[in-house]
Chain A
Amino acid sequence: MRHIISILIENESGALSRVSGLFSARGYNIESLTVAPTEDPTLSRMTLVTRGNDEIIEQITKQLNKLIDVVKLIDLAEAVHLERELMLVKIKTTQESREEVKSMVEIFRGKIIDVTPNSYVVEMTGQSSKLDAFVQSFAEGSIIEVVRSGPTGISRGEKGLHL
């Protein structure tokens, strides 16, 4: 099963390599990993998407907790949560296709943030599946480049992951 693990970790150099090193050393898979400092600059927040059966996920969370730099973590898959991913897509355009692309962007609630005679750059956030759907709705060859942040997530309700 797919799990999305949210980690508060000391914002130290090398913290990221401790996490990624753990995954490669123990043969766990990482689908995506995002990381950025939090409002408290001494802490970073990491969001990690992985897959595995219950035993593997249990080991992953235990091993992550064991890292000295990890302050706290939660497996978001265990609770009701929200997930968003940011995507930037560069799309080939022609005089004729522009309108069609524009309407697709509207349907998917994206934004066009760069325009040249032959291309658009579209910004879009949403669940990963929505981003997949957007990309798939274009004919092969019309997409020049796709950049995705990987999902980040937060739990619903008033509780949060902090110290």
Chain B
Amino acid sequence: MELSGGQILVQCLKDEGVEFVFGYPGGSVLHIYDAIFHQDDVKHILVRHEQGATHSADAYARATGKPGVVLVTSGPGATNAVTGIATAYMDSIPMVILSGQVPSPVIGSDAFQEVDTVGITRPCVKHNFLVKDVNQLAETIKKAFYVASTGRPGPVLVDIPKDITDPNIKVPYHYPKKVSMRSYNPVVVGHKGQIKKAVEMLLAARRPIIYSGGGVILGEASRELTELTRLLGYPITNTLMGLGGYPATDKQFVGMLGMHGTYEANMAMHESDVILAVGARFDDRVTGKLDEFCPYAKIIHIDIDPASISKTVRVDIPIVGDVKPVLELMIELIKDNKHIQPKPVLDAWWELINSWRDVKCLEYDRNSPLIKPQYVVEQLYQVTRGDAYITSDVGQHQMYAAQFYPFDKPRRWINSGGLGTMGFGLPAAIGVKLAFPDADVACITGEASIQMCIQELSTALQFNAPVKIVNLNNRYMGMVRQWQEFSYQSRYSQSYMDTIPDFVKLAEAYGHVGILVEKPEDVRGALEEAFKLKDRTVFLDFITDRTENVYPMIEAGKGHHDMKLRVAPGAPADRELS
């Protein structure tokens, strides 16, 4: 079969089993778009801004586990995609980005819409390629999918000069079933001896805790993690990226840890003697001040990327490997082992943990005449029976979502953790809804974040991706305002916008339904109404208490045991428990 480069590209996507390409046309990709025109196996989702394409593809990948695919033109198309590429990179999301480039002969001449896409994206991709020969196109695409989705996943960009896709140049097509690269060996099997040592250490622990992260979701290992945790009877905490890796409604779950984690999770980390870190990368939002991080603990760390191990915190037993087989082996070894810690030792640990739970660190004022954002998230949980896909933007609302929507399944919680990209939520919701048209998909957002990719409301209509937008409208960049309140004596510099659009009208202008909710007693009904409108995108604008803050909070430079908690009703000032 002889095909042109444009046809090859589309055929590769078919052979790779790609369902959707999120993209936006332009000069350098016109040959490719013409090839897309002639088929309908691969569906093209026309976004309204290339950033939207990257977030939709990224969220599609987060929800399904399959790499997301993006197609953009050279120059501004590629630069618009950079934020989304970096977002995927920071959270290790498999994604393949196809970018057009000016024709090979003019590369380097400041040609029209030329940018050095390979150079610009190099620090925020797992790898990138510039295609120099149409005969290598198919193999390069295969390599891109292979690199993106194996090992520690990540975005891979393929830059394709326009002459490569010339319809007049046809070459034999062959899509390799498999590729291997001598410089890339992603399969890592955990070291047996290390795993044995780890199990011994775990079983001898008196105050153990399991700290798991996004690696469990990426490595499809939540079943194994759950089995191991239950077998051991130990407490478990998740990072923001790890939520859903272990059922959050289970009694062994102590909540998220870190900056806005629960009191019990952070205290348990601080007092622990053995930590089993699983697919988590000791991010600074998690560790707080490094010198004060878990002073009594020995640490076991399972991670597929050796560079994640002992990067910020030195660990005692490193295990480089894919989380799933490592956990399987651990489970096997524990089942064979007779030295499980006697019950009373663990009971004492749980007693301590339960005393921290009694602090009820997530409690908020339920009698307020204003809508509390936490209340909206709780009601959303109930209305969706805890079974929705929740995407979010970045800010306070993101933290309320993480704290008040307990995820029992992996891949349900879709947010930008590492880069913290405002604008992620809406295009993400669209990507998820396209993947799972029958599922409930809601985007929890804020009035500032939603405006960063609001144009994607139009995409949602065109491609029939009815999502529910839960706007926790506090008329502030709440997260920024909170920091300014705590650290800058409430000087709210530029964290406020005087002109917030009428979101109901805006939704209507885009062909959707808008609902304004101003009173707590209307929250439940509005949510129910929105989810009844199965085939409509609904923009729910909740006017929330603008002074609300996210608690607990570990302020910059503080340790886990040094959390700022909400002022107890009636108490004179902020309590700082230690």
Contacts and interface: CB of A to CB of B under 8 A. Distances in A.
A25 B119 contact: no
Contacts of A9: 183
Interface stretch (A63-71, A86-94, A150-158): A63-71
A25 B306 CA distance: 19
Contacts of A17: 119, 122
Interface stretch (B123-131, B223-231, B321-329, B389-397): B123-131
A116 interface: no
Nearest to B186: A68
B183 A10 contact: yes
B194 interface: no
B311 interface: yes
Nearest to A25: B123
Query: What does DSSP make chain A's interface, helix, strand, loop or mixed?
Result: helix
B126 A58 contact: no
Interface in A74-116: none
A133 interface: no
Contacts, number: 38
Nearest to B306: A62
Nearest to A14: B118
A26 to B, nearest CB: 10
Nearest to B309: A62
B571 interface: no
A13 interface: yes
Interface residues on A, range: 20 to 34
A147 interface: no
B305 interface: yes
B305 A66 contact: yes
B307 interface: yes
Given A14-B118, A17-B119, A163-B182, A68 B126 contact: yes
A9 to B, nearest CB: 8
Interface in B103-144: 118-119, 122-123, 126-127, 130
A70 B122 contact: no
Interface of A: 9-10, 13-14, 17-18, 21, 25, 55, 58-59, 62-63, 65-66, 68-71, 163
Given A18-B122, A59-B311, 20 more contacts: A9-B183, A10-B183, A13-B130, A14-B122, A14-B130, A17-B119, A17-B122, A55-B310, A59-B307, A62-B306, A62-B307, A65-B306, A65-B307, A66-B305, A66-B306, A68-B183, A68-B184, A70-B183, A71-B182, A163-B182
